[in-house]
Amino acid sequence: MRNLVTLIGLGLLIACGSAQKTTNQLASGNFKAAFNTAVAALNKDKTKKANQKNIPLLKEAYDKAALQDLTEIKRLQQTVNAKSLKNIYGNYLNLDLRQDEVKLLQPLYFEGQEVEFDFVDYRNKIRDSKARYASYLYDEAQRKLNGTIDDARIAYNYLEDLIYVDPMYKPNLNTLLQRAKERGSTFVYISLQNNTRIAKDSLLSFSQINANNFNDPWVIFHHQKKSNINYAKEMAIVLDKMTMDTPLIQPETIRQEARIQDGWTYQKDSKGNVMKDEKGNDIKTAVYKTVVAEVVLYQQVRTATLAGKIFVIENGKIQTTKSILGEAKFQHSYAKYRGDQRAIEEKYLDALKATEVDYPPEYAFVNFAISNFKKNTEAFLSQQNF
């Protein structure tokens, strides 16, 4: 019974809490938030007595939010631009949506009387404001398509918004969007010159450098020149030298020494008798000794390096030169020892369990060096201001 009373009390507290939250939101002028809070509470159970306080609050929030939206629409109508037209359309949608939410809750009663709400047919307002917004986006996009690169980028954004609002507004929207993308983009030609013996097929990954690798959506990379494109810059990648080191095993001898316990002896008094502790047990003393060993640590190492440069060319002149390296390094450790194993530190135990392994094939070094070179190239390109 006590648990039931506790649950009832908790339910009342939550209901009162939502009403208090709505009251606070109304007092602060946040009418739309107050409306949403009241609707959420009543959607759970509009007949529960504890929720009744939310009904007059819902009515107040509904009326004040509507007045706020209508006042904002009147203000926005003084200015004609994409933002104001979008907000006018959005406000009419919000007015209509709130009405639908209230209609789903009806009928609503407070203290035995039905609470009535005023409803307005906003369908014409929504249709007209959407049409004005769509018309503005379309006309401005077409106008800006004949302007600068920055204008074309604005046109692209307008067309994206238009397709979201009304994808069937005109049949040529996607064509215009593609045109805006092309006119608003900066085109960069990437060339690759291979002065090494690396096979051409191994360098195909360089053709995967594209706009998706970077944060700027307005940069488009071409790996083959097109005669109808005006390239802002050329990034000339030159591969100069591929170096493959000889496999190398580097030994290192490490002396190990430790003091360890080596048994025990009885503690005796001056007369040679075994001493006793307070419980009568023989007293023992640990015996220590020093043990030594030598660990021979072997490092298997092989490195491959791809060296090259990137030339940033603008208007036929080299503006920047950047040296780039791609590295591939194989390293493996194993160890052997002689002497007393108890002297060896724990950090060498894994190496002692390992053995010598085969080096990876040369093509694996080449591929990894190419991949690392490409990664460093992309890092350089991402820092460029196109």
pTM, entire model? 0.68
Q: Which amino acid is at 43?
A: N
User: Rounded CA gap, 19 and 25, in Å?
Assistant: 10
Pair of tokens at residue 259: 């003091």
What's residue 65's pLDDT?
A: 95
Domain boundaries of the chain, sorted by first residue:
2-179, 244-382
Whether residue 107 has a cis bond before it, omega within 30° of 0: yes
Can you tell me which residue has the tokens 């002065």? 195
What's residue 164's pLDDT?
A: 96
Question: Using one digit for the tens of pLDDT, what is the confidence trace for 15-62?
Answer: 456 788 999 999 998 999 999 999 999 998 888 877 788 999 999 999
Residues with Cβ < 8 Å from 334, sequence gap 6 or more? 298, 300, 351, 352, 354, 355, 356, 357
What's residue 247's pLDDT?
A: 92
Question: Parallel, antiparallel, or unpaired: how do β-strands 248-266 and 284-314 relate?
Answer: antiparallel
Question: Using one digit for the tens of pLDDT, what is the confidence trace for 304-318?
Answer: 999 999 999 998 899
What's residue 49's pLDDT?
A: 77
Q: Is the pLDDT of residue 1 over 50?
A: no
Under 8 Å between Cβ of 335 and 352? yes
Section 267-286 average pLDDT? 83
Section 174-192 average pLDDT? 94
Q: What percent of the chain has pLDDT over 90?
A: 74
Positive or negative, the CA dihedral 167, 172, 178, 183 is negative
Phi and psi for 322 in degrees, rounded to 5? -130, 125
Under 8 Å between Cβ of 214 and 381? yes
What's residue 356's pLDDT?
A: 95
Beta carbons within 10 angstroms of residue 220's beta carbon? 17
Beta partners for residue 66, in sequence order: none
What's residue 211's pLDDT?
A: 64
Pair of tokens at residue 26: 């109304």
Question: Using one digit for the tens of pLDDT, what is the confidence trace for 212-258?
Answer: 667 788 998 999 999 889 999 999 999 999 999 999 999 999 999 99
pLDDT mean across residues, the chain: 90
Question: Using one digit for the tens of pLDDT, what is the confidence trace for 69-97?
Answer: 999 999 999 999 999 999 999 999 999 99
Question: Using one digit for the tens of pLDDT, what is the confidence trace for 315-364?
Answer: 889 999 999 999 999 999 999 999 999 999 999 999 999 999 999 999 99
